[in-house]
């Protein structure tokens, strides 16, 4: 049985706590490794190591730090296939989707190559007689990231790339469900020239999360996961005087107007709703067609597409649409929510609960499910299912459709499909959600913009990556400077004034 430890001070470290978590191959339903769960002492040692390494790294000029990121991008491209295969083996997503996971993180690393520009301060000459004022963006020190299972490459890079480019050292606590890729990323950072100790990967469970939230040395915490845990991490971290950006759950609506291209909309819904088995915080899980004619036509187009989805292990080829869910518990939870939707009276148009794949009967597979006539009081509407389930909620008018995402407690992403610019503009202006797509089903911003949800999807003042990433991982220091003229003109005995 493979044992996965930690990555501290630039090298692999075996766990010493005696506690382990099982790492599954979700396609086969088999345990393929065990990952060590850190003790308080192990976490303390990693934090101390990061603090010692950070001082020299902060003193390294931004251009040299950017060169490390530049080399890191080269290495990511070199090892793309290896990273994707390891990711798929532990998570279950298809190889093309796994490569997309890596590439979305790589793009943030590319943005961080511009650190010398993003870290420039401001300067005001002559703020007073002989007085200049200037600001500096300086690193916080030791910072940490707690990242989820569903993007084991992308989200760690969203966190540690800007943090390290700013001159911080970083403690990464990835998901214990798929821990191999985060350690591989740390190895590549060392190969790219990062000094040992600047990036440490410590595997663990809730005790490791609590240690990060409570550690006095750690100055900032970034988190992505479920909303209850996001609220917990945000509250505990800020109570200990830390900065925190914590992103939680989602229930992303896509509104389909009567003038929309329904073929385009149906294809977008299938890809955005069922890709990665629905285990995406930006997955579209609610379709809102406006008008009975639109709804009936949409269901007619969606049902055969959902029934035709190709499901299988990542080894089955690049034409597989999605793979298994990450754990047996996740599979049971999603099936239970579908059962509940049937009990509550929703029309299950396509039922994928009993999907089974020959040779992979123990895998955590589930077929796509499509509900129609879902109402806002049903659990399947209110809850983030995080599985291959799409709910259709019919609306009689644009205003009724708009009110659904406006009124929902989550505010991560949303989309509208329409040919009418006025409707699209009104939707983008009025919606209370952080990321909006217009004829784009998954509106994840590119690396030079910022990613973040509203309402119960996000806690904290600043978003991930883009300009906000550099703001979050630095403090602004303002200097007021005056060089007295005494040496040049002789002594001055009157008190200086403006």
The Cα 473–Cα 183 span in angstroms is: 22
The values of phi and psi at residue 467, to 5°, are -60, -35
Return the exposure string of 327-344: e unless at least 16 CB atoms fall within 10 Å of the residue's CB, then b: beebbebbbebbeebeee
Given the residues 112, 166, 281, 369, the one annotated as active site: 281
What Å distances lie between residue 345 and 31, 384, 437, 463, CA to CA? 38, 18, 31, 39
For residue 235, the tally of other CB atoms under 10 A from its CB is 14
Catalytic-residue membership of 369: no
The Cα 81–Cα 39 span in angstroms is: 33
Question: What are all long-range contacts of 402-407, with beta carbons under 8 Å and residues at least 24 apart?
Answer: 402/255, 402/427, 402/430, 402/431, 404/253, 404/286, 404/288, 404/376, 405/253, 405/255, 405/431, 405/432, 405/433, 406/430, 406/431, 406/432, 407/376
The Cα 351–Cα 339 span in angstroms is: 10
Closest CA to 255 of 387, 380, 400: 400
Provide the annotated active-site residues: 281
């Amino acid at each position: 049985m493979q044992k996965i430890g930690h990555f501290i001070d630039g090298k692999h470290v075996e766990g010493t706590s005696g506690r382990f978590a099982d790492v599954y191959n979700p396609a086969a339903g088999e345990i393929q490794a065990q990952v060590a769960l850190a003790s308080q002492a192990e976490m303390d040692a990693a934090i101390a190591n990061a603090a010692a390494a950070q001082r020299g790294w902060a003193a390294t000029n931004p251009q040299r730090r950017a060169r490390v990121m530049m080399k890191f991008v080269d290495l990511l491209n070199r090892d793309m296939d290896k990273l994707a295969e390891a990711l798929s083996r532990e998570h279950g997503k298809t190889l093309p989707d796994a490569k997309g996971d890596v590439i979305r993180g790589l793009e943030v690393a590319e943005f961080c190559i511009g650190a010398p520009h993003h870290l420039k301060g401001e300067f005001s000459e002559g703020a007073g007689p002989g007085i200049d004022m200037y600001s500096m963006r300086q690193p916080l020190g030791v910072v940490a990231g707690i990242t989820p299972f569903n993007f084991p490459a992308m989200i760690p890079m969203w966190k540690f790339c800007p943090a390290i480019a700013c001159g911080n050292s970083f403690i990464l606590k990835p998901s214990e469900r798929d821990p191999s890729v985060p350690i591989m990323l740390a190895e590549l950072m060392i190969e790219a020239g990062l000094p040992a100790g600047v990036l440490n990967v410590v595997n663990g469970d809730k005790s490791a999360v609590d240690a990060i939230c409570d550690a006095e040395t750690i100055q900032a915490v970034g988190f992505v996961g479920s909303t209850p845990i996001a609220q917990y991490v945000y509250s505990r971290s800020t109570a200990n005087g830390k900065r925190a950006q914590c992103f939680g759950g989602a229930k992303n609506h896509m509104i389909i107007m009567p003038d929309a291209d329904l073929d385009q909309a149906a294809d977008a819904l299938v890809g955005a709703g069922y890709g990665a088995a629905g285990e995406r915080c930006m997955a579209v899980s609610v379709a809102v067609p406006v008008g009975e004619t639109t709804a009936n036509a949409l269901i007619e187009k969606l049902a055969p597409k959902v029934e035709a989805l190709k499901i299988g292990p990542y080894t089955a080829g690049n034409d597989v649409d999605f793979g298994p869910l990450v754990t047996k518990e996740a599979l049971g939870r999603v099936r239970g929510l579908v059962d509940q939707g049937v009990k509550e009276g929703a029309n299950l148009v396509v039922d994928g609960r009993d999907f089974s794949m020959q040779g992979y009967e123990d895998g955590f597979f589930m077929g796509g499910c499509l509900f129609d006539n879902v109402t806002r009081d049903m659990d399947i509407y209110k809850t983030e299912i995080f599985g291959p389930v799409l709910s259709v909620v019919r609306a009689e008018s644009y205003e009724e459709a708009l009110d659904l995402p406006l009124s929902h407690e989550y505010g991560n992403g949303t989309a509208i499909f329409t040919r009418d610019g006025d409707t699209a503009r009104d939707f983008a202006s009025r919606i209370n959600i952080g990321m909006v797509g217009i004829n784009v089903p998954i509106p994840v911003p590119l690396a030079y913009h910022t990613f973040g949800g509203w309402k119960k999807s996000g806690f904290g003042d600043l978003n991930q990556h883009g300009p906000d990433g550099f703001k979050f991982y630095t403090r602004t220091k303002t200097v007021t400077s005056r060089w007295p003229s005494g040496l040049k003109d002789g002594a001055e005995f009157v008190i200086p004034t403006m």
